[in-house]
Structure 1
Amino acid sequence: MKEGFYWIQFYGTVQVARYFRQEAENCETGERATGGWQLVGRQREIIHSSDVVVISGQLHPPE
């Protein structure tokens, strides 16, 4: 997946989030993952997990 903005569903809420490629460890499970999500308007980063469902292709800026 390319870095950028996507519509996602996270715990039942549909929102825009930024996907970034970075090696990380899930503190709750100890699993290593490549990539994570940052919700737009929030500082919380979300490890790429089955809790995030991508519901659209990458969003592109307006021309």
Structure 2
Amino acid sequence: MDSPTSPSVNGQPGGAKSARGLWLWVALVFAFSALLWAGMFTASRHIDAREVPLASKGARP
């Protein structure tokens, strides 16, 4: 009944390995999103909003 490929409750190495791999992916996604957020926040702090041209009065309805 217990084959080497079937997961068991009492410490099958494959189960712990896949759980660690899942947490590794979660940590990598969290780190990537934190770096992306920090980069976007830093880039937005360097943008001068006064450089954006406003619409002329003739272009407004």
Q: TM-score, normalised by structure 1?
A: 0.15
The structure richer in strand per residue is: 1
Q: TM-score, normalised by structure 2?
A: 0.16
The structure richer in helix per residue is: 2
Relative contact order higher in (CA < 8 Å, ≥ 6 apart): 1
